[in-house]
Homo-oligomer: A and B are copies of this chain.
């Protein structure tokens, strides 16, 4: 079935339903960052495989909306005789709909796939033009998707307290107490990460994100109803693991429980930015009182306990050794005949093979960015989307990768010399590294948000008239998503204070279009500093231990304090990683960590 046929099928059903437009977002019903193959509805109807985008289908026309990352890809993947292309941010699709439709028209959407926040805003915006949003109970794509993949059957994992550091009951009671104080009867949880954290469970439902996809209701008494595929828990004693008051239901029971909450006139709290509109509609139509607030699991999940921090430290040593072995191998390979036989793909595979040699390794924490020369200037480059570059053509190589281990999640970027870097590359690498060091050395009082620290990492670049167009740091989970909130280090956005146990990346970069890309990324955990001043302050403890490439450093762009930091960091790398290496790799590490 071609995309033209698929589009025609969707349009036939739209006509039957008497709707003038149908919206197909990329998201699934959990509204998380990643979706499983069976939720790739946007790809099915348009051919677009990117991680964000929306299609809007009208009777005679259809449009694709993607952000700046995907303006090239959408043209490659979506037939321009079927779809017009638009910028998701600059030309919001609701605005486009308003210009295309007439007063009295109806727009169909699947309320499972949109947040309550979106629904409220969209409804208001369209109503001003006398256009109505109509929830479609059975998604039109699903009605026509014949060969739709089935959800995988990976069993769930009950995560031992040796890894989680806190029993589910303690987590649930703490959050339930907050609900009781605000007279909330139940908290609706719809995202996978907070549910998996709360119950100390993990899964393999999505690549790179070790979760069981599920919904949950957390009640004021601390009890939880989990709605997930029961087959995944076959043979597992969830109640013995997570607590007697945790009960498992099939996902198809979820609607009934929402309706029961309504019948009981319950006050139900949900996060309107992450909960889907269908849950909110189901609850309120059944009579529940909705309370909108941030998901109360997010902050305690972000503040890792001592066991989680220790686990992350261990995972990072293991991960650091794997990356060092890869970098050692890479240097050797460059000196051997025919380095051009290696390309970005073989390099990524080689790196993964070193990680996979550790028994605690589960899977990559995201799809490795392995980028030579100009490819590294595309922040979301992937070597499978074109012809990968080979060794020998370029001066520098950027590799951004990470692992999911049972005791922690890693994420590291190193930029290394694979040719003859010129003075300008060295200058820019050194400025990026300097910003990384300035942020790594920050101390700050309670109440300080990442937004207030972001400029530290950029200032060395700003001083010379350069910048980079992405955030400086994201939160990282504990054997969970490599991207998590609410903490963030970026110019705008989250004002959530950084506090003890939060793990954040520190990853300034520099990107020269058609030229090269540089990024220096470590993970660091927020800890109390012990000083003699007036007030308690926090500092960052670095978790990642892999050398920064000394061959790319121009000391003229550093001050003494940066060189001291770097020498001390490399001494630590040597002390922590050398016991895990041997032979050539050990010799490589010794020269890579000698003082400047």
Contacts and interface: CB of A to CB of B under 8 A. Distances in A.
Interface string A403-444: 000000000000000000000000000000000000001111
Contacts of A464: 531-533
A586 interface: no
A532 B464 CA distance: 7
Please state the number of chain copies in the assembly: 2
Interface in A439-467: 441-445, 447-448, 451-456, 459, 462-467
Given A453-B455, A467-B534, A561-B559, A462 B444 contact: yes
A536 interface: yes
A260 to B, nearest CB: 30
A452 B559 contact: no
Nearest to A452: B455
Contacts of A536: 465
Given A452-B452, A455-B455, A456-B459, A533 B495 contact: no
Interface of A: 441-445, 447-448, 451-456, 459, 462-467, 491-492, 495, 529, 531-537, 559-561
Contact of A535 (B447, B466, B491, B495): B466
Contacts of A466: 533-535
A492 B495 contact: yes
Given A443-B459, A452-B455, 4 more contacts: A443-B462, A455-B456, A464-B533, A465-B531
A444 B457 CA distance: 12
A594 B23 CA distance: 70
A280 B443 CA distance: 47
A463 B448 CA distance: 14
Nearest to A510: B534
22 contacts: A442-B455, A442-B459, A443-B463, A444-B462, A447-B491, A448-B455, A451-B452, A452-B452, A452-B455, A452-B491, A453-B455, A456-B456, A464-B533, A465-B531, A465-B533, A465-B534, A466-B534, A466-B535, A467-B535, A492-B495, A559-B560, A560-B560
